[in-house]
Amino acid sequence: MAYAPGMGICADCLKWLTEIQKSLQARFPQFANQDVKILPTPIRVNAPDMFRGRGVTIAFLDSGYYSHPDLTTPKPRILKYANLVGRSLPAQLFRPDVSSWHGMMTSVVAAGNGFLSGGLYRGIASEANLVLVKVGNAARILHQDIARGLRWVIRQRERYNIRVVNISCGGDYEASYLNDPICQAAEAAAKAGLVVVAAAGNAGNRENHPVLPPASAPSVITVGGLDDKNTLEFYDDEMYRSSYGPTIDGLQKPDVIAPSIWVAAPILPGTPTAEQAALLSDLSVAKDADLGEMIRLHPGIDPDLDRAAILDPYLIRQLIQSKLHDNKVISGYYKHVDGTSFAAPIVSSIVAQMLEANPNLTPSEVKLALVKTAVRIPNTDPSMQGWGVINPMGAVQAVVDGKQARDAKSA
pLDDT score of 3: 37
pLDDT score of 384: 94
pLDDT tens string 182-226: 999 999 999 999 999 999 999 888 878 899 999 999 999 999 999
CB 394: neighbour CB atoms within 10 A? 16
pLDDT score of 108: 98
pLDDT score of 410: 76
pLDDT score of 134: 97
Domain ranges of the chain: 41-266+335-410, 268-332
Please report, for residues 16, 85, 96, 99, the alpha-carbon distance to residue 23 in angstroms, rounded to integers and kept in the order given.
11, 46, 35, 37
CA distance 289 to 407: 66
pLDDT score of 231: 86
Return the ∠ at Cα 107 (arms to 106 and 112), rounded to 5°: 115
CB 380: neighbour CB atoms within 10 A? 14
Backbone angles phi, psi at 222, to 5 degrees: -90, 130
pLDDT score of 232: 82
List helix spans (H) across 192-312: 272-284, 291-296, 303-308
Ranges of residues in the chain with a pLDDT under 50 are: 1-9
pLDDT score of 190: 98
| CATH architecture under which domain 41-266+335-410 falls | 3-Layer(aba) Sandwich (3.40)
Containing H/E element for 155? helix 143-160
pLDDT score of 234: 81
pLDDT score of 376: 94
pLDDT tens string 308-339: 999 999 999 999 999 999 999 998 899 999 99
pLDDT score of 26: 66
Global confidence as pTM: 0.92
